[in-house]
Structure 1
Amino acid sequence: MADSKFASLLQLPARLFFSALSTFLSFLRPYFPHVLPVLVCLSFVPLLLFLSASAGWIVWRNVAVGWQAPLYLQYGDGVPPYAQETLPPLVAQQRYDFSLQFQVPNVDTTYALGNFMTTLTLSTRSNKTLASIRRPTIAIPPRVSFYSRTPAVIDITVPLLTAFAPGSKHVVATVEIGRRDNWKSLGNEQGREVSVVSASLRGVVVHHGIRGLVTRLPLLSALVSSIVFLIISSVIVGVCVLPLTFRHAAAQPPEPEAEFAKVEIKPLPAISSSSSDDSESIEEKPLVPRRRSRPSSRTGIIKTEDMSTTILPPATPQATPLRRRRSKIVDPVSSDSSDS
């Protein structure tokens, strides 16, 4: 008994909730045809806001930005120092300025090297070459003022590519610094290499067209894209959903009329004897067939017949005694009787 009372107490809030819900729905039932379109549109609002925010985030996330990839040069392989590095994800159609920045020691042996070459090769992961370029470089001692200290290293920047669109998102860069003959033709024909303290490949975004506007103002571009997406999606929902909901509301059957129109049925008039006599007389009248009009063969004029007239039979004459003429032939029997 105690368990049953406890279970009934637990079910009481649910019963009260469902009863209140049914009362509320019964109260709103007459207003459903007008409230239903509004509820349907309001149900799409959170989804549209989420999609619009996602569109703005995608635009902001994919805006092209500058990058810098460190290079670790390899020495002692019989070739000039080189490095191979996978660049950060790029925007395929965005233009970049590629340049190499490295530091060399500020010593006399560096200046004695003279000119050397810097090579850059861009390729895809499938080893397809996108671009290859070589630029000459030379180390020049920096200018030192009276009150400044002499730097220990020299910064050298070599511009390689200008306004280049890679055409691929994943790019592998191969950089080579030095001369391929290792300066063996100079001095005692001893091989030499460029001493590099650190090196990095840098890419700067080139602002061009609409992409340049987006790259200059990434946050504003994301906000504008979210608003535009929200407006377009709201118009699409309004054009596609609202007519369906209003059509459903207008398709409800109309209320039946309270009173029907009363039709007064009048009795047919009685048929009199005179009318029956007239009908019999009409039936007894002979029918005269109409003549068909034939076109005249001579004149070519079509003769039309006048209105049909009913010819009544001639009136019956009064009964008059008929007179019979005597025949001139004499009957032999009558003659004999007369002679006797």
Structure 2
Amino acid sequence: MANSDSNSIVALPSRLFFSALSAFVAFLRPLLPHILPLLVYLSFIPLVLFFSASAGWIVWRNVAVGWQAPLYLQYGDGVPPYALATLPALVAQQRYDISLQLQVPNLDANYALGNFMTTLTLSTRSNKTLTSIRRPAILVPPRVAFYSSAPAVITVEVPLLTAYAAGVSHVVATVEVGRRDNWKSLGNEQGRELSVITASLRGVVVHHGIRGLVTRLPLLSALISSIAFLIVSSIIVGVCILPLAFRHAATQPKLAQVDIQPLPAISNSSSDDSESVEEKPLVQRRRSRPSSRTAIKTEDTSTTVLPPQTVPQGPLRRRRSKLVDPVSSDSES
């Protein structure tokens, strides 16, 4: 007995739960056609927000920015100092101003070299040459005021390319600094090289067209793109989902009228039956009239028929014909 009571006590909450659940389901069943499209639309809102934020981040991430690649010049190979470097990922259609920046020591030996050449070759990873250019440069002693000392390091900038678009994202640069004759015409005709502390290749974004607006205002451009994506996607989701709810709401009154129609239909049928019952004798009467008429007609025709006349008995007289034979007439005369 104790076990059965305990089992019933344990089963009571589950029964209450299932009964409450069934009552809740019964309550929601008529409302479900109206609520379901709205719930689906609301479930799409987090997804739309996520994709909108992703769109803004992608725009901000892909905005072209300036870059700087360090160069490590190689000396002692019998050729002018050179360096190979892989440039940062570029925007393929973005234009850049590319220049070489050198930091050289403030030495008279560097000033004595005079003019030197800088060669830049851009190629793809598959060793396809995109462009190659050579530009001259020269070191000039800086101007120093009488109350200050000369700087130990001089920065030299050599412009190479102006408003150049590589057309690819991954570019390999080869830079050569110096003269190929090694300045053998100077002094004792011994080879000389330019002393360089650090070297780097720099790219500056050229603002041009709509892309230039995006590069000038990257954060604002990302925000605008995110809001635009949010509005467009919300409109698309609303146009695809919300009409289902309104369509069901518009058809619901028609269904209610169909449910109410059986009562007047029964009364109409009964009235129709009564009318049909009342009309049936009329139809029969109308049908019976032609038969009476035909009977009357037959009686009239039967009464109007005269009896045949009796032929009087006696000798028959022969009627003389009007056509007389001439021969017979002469004989009679």
Per the normalisation by structure 1, the TM-score is: 0.78
> What residue in structure 1 maps to residue 30 of structure 2?
30
> What residue in structure 2 maps to residue 175 of structure 1?
175
Give 1:326's match in structure 2, choosing from 301, 306, 315.
315
Secondary structure, counterpart of 1:69 in structure 2: strand
> What residue in structure 2 maps to residue 55 of structure 1?
55
5+ residue gaps, structure 1, are 286-311, 330-340
> What residue in structure 2 maps to residue 94 of structure 1?
94
Give the superposition deviation at 1:14.
6.4
CA distance in 2, matches of 1:247, 1:35: 13
Inter-CA distance 121–254: structure 2 relative to 1 (3 Å threshold):
same
Inter-CA distance 80–281: structure 2 relative to 1 (3 Å threshold):
farther
> What residue in structure 2 maps to residue 266 of structure 1?
277
CA distance in 1, matches of 2:232, 2:24: 36
> What residue in structure 2 maps to residue 142 of structure 1?
142
> What residue in structure 2 maps to residue 254 of structure 1?
255
Give the superposition deviation at 1:246.
4.2
CA distance in 2, matches of 1:186, 1:142: 23
Inter-CA distance 273–118: structure 2 relative to 1 (3 Å threshold):
closer
- Percent identity between the two aligned chains: 67
5+ residue gaps, structure 2, are 319-333
CA distance in 1, matches of 2:295, 2:147: 149
Q: Spell out, residue by residue over 1:268-288, the C-alpha distance to the aligned partner (whole angstroms, 9 max, x if none).
A: 325597642423577999xxx
Give the superposition deviation at 1:248.
5.4
Inter-CA distance 183–8: structure 2 relative to 1 (3 Å threshold):
farther
CA distance in 2, matches of 1:106, 1:87: 29
Aligned residues: 301
CA distance in 2, matches of 1:154, 1:216: 31
Q: Which amino acid aligns with 1:276?
A: S
Asked if residue 202 in structure 1 is aligned to residue 202 in structure 2, the reply is yes
Higher alpha-carbon deviation: 270-279 or 158-167: 270-279
Higher alpha-carbon deviation: 267-276 or 119-128: 267-276
**Residues 24-173 of structure 1: pairs in structure 2 closer than 5 A:** 24-173=24-173
Is the contact made by 2:120 and 2:134 (CA closer than 8 Å) also made in structure 1? Answer: yes
Q: Spell out, residue by residue over 1:241-260, the C-alpha distance to the aligned partner (whole angstroms, 9 max, x if none).
A: 23345445666782533412
> What residue in structure 2 maps to residue 305 of structure 1?
none
**Residues 230-245 of structure 1: pairs in structure 2 closer than 5 A:** 230-245=230-245
CA distance in 2, matches of 1:139, 1:180: 18
Specify which structure has the higher proportion of helix: 2
> What residue in structure 2 maps to residue 292 of structure 1?
none
> What residue in structure 1 maps to residue 291 of structure 2?
276
Is the contact made by 2:48 and 2:230 (CA closer than 8 Å) also made in structure 1? Answer: yes
Higher alpha-carbon deviation: 244-253 or 315-324: 244-253
Secondary structure, counterpart of 1:254 in structure 2: helix
Inter-CA distance 98–319: structure 2 relative to 1 (3 Å threshold):
same
Q: What RMSD over aligned residues (CA atoms) do the two structures have, in Å?
A: 3.2
Is the contact made by 2:34 and 2:245 (CA closer than 8 Å) also made in structure 1? Answer: no
Inter-CA distance 282–212: structure 2 relative to 1 (3 Å threshold):
farther
Secondary structure, counterpart of 2:310 in structure 1: coil
Give the superposition deviation at 1:231.
1.1
Secondary structure, counterpart of 1:99 in structure 2: strand
CA distance in 1, matches of 2:143, 2:305: 159
CA distance in 1, matches of 2:34, 2:291: 67
CA distance in 2, matches of 1:100, 1:7: 89
CA distance in 2, matches of 1:137, 1:7: 99
Is the contact made by 2:116 and 2:136 (CA closer than 8 Å) also made in structure 1? Answer: yes
